[in-house]
Structure 1
Amino acid sequence: MTRAVLFDTETTGLDPADGHRVLEIAALELINDLPTGRHFHTLIDPERDIPEEVVRVHGITARDVAGKPRFAQIAEELLAFFGAGPLIAHNAPFDFGFLDAELRRIGAPALDRGRMVDTLMLAKARFPGLPNSLDALCRRFGIDLSARTTHNALLDCRLLAEIYVELTGGRQRGLDLAAESAAAPAIAYAHDRARRERPILVSDAERAAHEAFLAKLKSPLWLD
């Protein structure tokens, strides 16, 4: 059983080097690449303003994060949920970069880049030259986008989990192969038995033609 965590962040801007901060984070637990239903989600007080142009993207305002915990207050619970397995994100270097900046502020070590799984890179490898944004992939795989009027970390995680299943063939790995393997010998036996027990029907004309043919044979072995 392999455990991984798929996560997404919403931020006040594009670059933590410019002082931008994380203001929402969501994470979903995956077992054998399939969601279990367990998740982590919180809004975060970014301790700074949220530019209007960014609000138009994700819809999170200063009023929404007023009174919410700061990153330092949720870091321990977040890292515990992350565990030690792979960490999956779409355009993962962006999310890793922001979380690393937040971890540095509280004196915690950066995330291990060896744990990074970037679904954007997986999509580019599978669909080279095509748009591979979250929206584009949802449309390509027929995943319902109707609830995605703005960016939302938890909703984006749930959509990305469906995309990840499609990109990795997780639906096939989720099949009950043990049950199929157990049933296979019985099915094969039933088919073989049906073949062996199928009666061979011969018409009167065919029987007469066969007897006429045998009458032409000299000293057939079965008469000895």
Structure 2
Amino acid sequence: MYAVIDLETTGLRTSWHDRIVEVAVVHLDEDGQVTGEWCSLVNPGRDLGPQLIHGITAAEARRAPRFEQLAGHVAGLLRGRVLAAHNLRFDASFLLAEYERVGVQAPIDPADGLCTMRLASHFLPSAGRSLHDCCRAAGLPPYRAHSALHDARAAAQLLARYLTSAGAPPPWEAAITAAAGLPWPPMEVAPVVPVHRRTAGHREQHFLARLVDRLPRLHEPKGDAYLNLLDQALLDRHISSTEADALVATAEAFGLARVDVEHLHRSYLADLAGAAAEDGVVTASERHDLNQVAALLGLPRSDADHALQSAMNGSSPEQGLRSNQWSFAPGDMVVFTGAMRPPRWEWEGEAEAAGLLVGDSVTKKTRLLVAADPDSMSGKAEKARRYGIPIVHPTAYRQMLASLAKPTPAR
């Protein structure tokens, strides 16, 4: 009878190339009873926009199906039903735009559906326009805002209240009849699995666990390419999901099993310990950094202690396998991507004040890309990965900027 929808998007306008990043559909029968629900994240093929609002990370969305893969299934959920949403005009415009991108003229028209926001003026005259205000005025329980499924459930409960108040038949009976006859074009339903948001506290399996187990290790694993990639990944002391995938792919391409990669990780740690112990003094900050890197590499803290002790004693047999280390200097070009706080222009001003060049787009001359989400799927991020340009989080970049401003002490 009814298909109540809600979307999370990268922004507010389809004309600005904003896309859907999450879609949810809740089915109601003629009495307002829930008969089914469905939800999935959507890979928008671009940056995710205001992530502080919708809370979806690129690590989640990048593994979700694209809309063209979901289009047939979503059409099946809407076909023959009255489309409803809170601010239906907004959701309908995004659905129409997504279907147009895949060459489908979807029979979606806000005038033919039910907008729980507009209907509130009749059923809840004292309520504000927001879904939260309408639900509160209707005496409905609080819900998790800016989650497509929770918002769709809340809108469905609101519509159920309207149905109870309206009685039978409802004043929009003509819309029910019209929806049953809307001519949806035939569409293939691809066999895709919906991807849901991660639960709070979810932790991904360490990427080492995805590598093949084999003993013994190679006599001398050829790890230059792997270590170069690891250098870039660890610039911000965080290994993003995209970087973890790249490390696994590189290890597999060079025939490196888990034991080989663990050996390379220990050699990497030994190099860091050697750099920390070079002046004969290991600060608390340097020790903390070693422990942090060890944890990121899937190594126990005892390995960091051993690497540091060996470096202080001048005996580090696994040291020296790293190739040229990445460095950052005045005159380098930095590019920014994603919605940031404070505003982008403040970040760019700080970069220029530190002697860096700020680029509008990523080129082979770009030294660093600063991304609000290091797993970003923006065009800038995709180009940076193609060119082998490091991508770091703004917090780590700011630390790098502070180090860049400090004069290097003479040895």
Question: When the two structures are superposed, what TM-score results if normalisation uses the length of structure 2?
Answer: 0.39
User: What is residue 137 of structure 2 aligned with on the other side?
Assistant: 140
Residue by residue over 1:148-203, the C-alpha shift from the partner in whole angstroms, topping out at 9 and shown as x without a partner, is 1x410111111111111112326966xxxxxxxxxxxxxxxxxxxxxxxxxxxxxx
Q: Which residue of 1 aligns with 2:350?
A: none
Cα deviation, residue 84, structure 1: 1.7
Instruction: Kindly provide the amino acid, as one letter, of the partner of residue 111 in structure 1.
Output: P
Equivalences for residues 113-124 of structure 1 within 5 A: 113=109, 115-124=112-121
- Distance in 2, matches of 1:156 and 1:73, equals 23
One-letter amino acid matched to 1:80: G
- Count residues in correspondence: 167
SS at match of 2:4: strand
Give 1:90's aligned amino acid.
H
Higher strand share goes to which structure? 1
Maintained 8 Å contact 2:124/2:137: no
User: Does 1:73 find its partner at 2:98?
Assistant: no
Q: What aligned pairs does 1:12-27 form with structure 2 within 5 A after superposition?
A: 12-27=10-25
Residues 81-112 of structure 1 show CA distances to partners (whole Å, capped at 9, x for unaligned) of: 11122100110000000010000000001333
Match of 1:217 in 2: none
Q: Does 1:126 align with 2:123?
A: yes
Within the candidate set 47, 50, 53, 2:48 is matched to 50
Q: Secondary structure at the residue paired with 2:33?
A: strand
Residues in 1 aligned to 2:95 and 2:22: alpha-carbon distance in whole angstroms: 11
**Partners in 1 of 2:108 and 2:90 — Cα distance?**
14
- Quote the Cα distance in structure 1 between the aligned partners of 2:114 and 2:66: 27
1:109 match: 105
1:168 to 163, 168, 173: 163
What amino acid maps onto 1:69 in structure 2? P
Residue 91 (1) aligns with residue 87 (2): yes
Pick the structure with more helix per residue: 1
User: Does the 8 Å contact 1:41/1:154 carry over to 2?
Assistant: yes
Structure 2 SS opposite 1:108? coil
Where 2:99 maps in the other structure, the secondary structure is helix
Name the amino acid aligned to 1:155. H
Q: 151-160 or 27-36, which moves further after superposition?
A: 27-36
Query: Structure 2 CA distance, aligned partners of 1:33 and 1:42?
Result: 26
Higher Cα radius of gyration:
1
Kept in 2: contact 1:165–1:171 (CA 8 A): no
Contact 2:127 2:137 in 1 (8 A): no
Change (3 A) 1:151 1:61: same
Counterpart CA distance in 2 for 1:69 and 1:137 is: 33
Distance 1:37 1:12 in 2: 29
Cα RMSD, aligned residues only: 1.9
1:33–1:170 contact (8 Å) kept in structure 2: no
Q: Which runs of 5+ in 2 are unaligned?
A: 169-411
Q: What CA distance in whole angstroms lies between the structure 2 residues aligned with 1:43 and 1:170?
A: 34
* Secondary structure, counterpart of 1:9 in structure 2: strand
Aligned mates of 2:60, 2:116 — CA distance in 1:
29
SS in 1 for 2:46: coil
State the one-letter code of the partner of 2:58.
A
Structure 1 stretch 18-27 or stretch 117-126: which is displaced more?
117-126
Q: Judging changes above 3 Å, is the alpha-carbon distance between structure 1 residues 170 and 72 closer, same or farther for their aligned structure 2 residues?
A: farther
Query: Does the CA contact (< 8 Å) of 2:42 and 2:64 recur in 1?
Result: yes
Report the TM-score, using the length of structure 1 for normalisation.
0.69
Q: Is the 8 A contact 1:4 1:33 kept in 2?
A: no
Q: Which has the higher relative contact order, 1 or 2, with Cα contacts under 8 A spaced 6 or more apart?
A: 1
Looking at structure 2, the residues matched to 37 and 31 of structure 1 have their Cα atoms a distance apart, in angstroms, of 7
1:11 to 9, 12, 16: 9
Return the letter of the residue paired with 2:93. Answer: G
* Residue 146 of structure 2 corresponds to residue 151 of structure 1: yes
Q: Does structure 2 conserve the Cα–Cα contact (< 8 Å) formed by 1:86 and 1:117? A: yes
Equivalent residue in structure 2 for 1:38, among 28, 36, 39: 36
Q: Which amino acid in 1 is paired with 2:136?
A: R
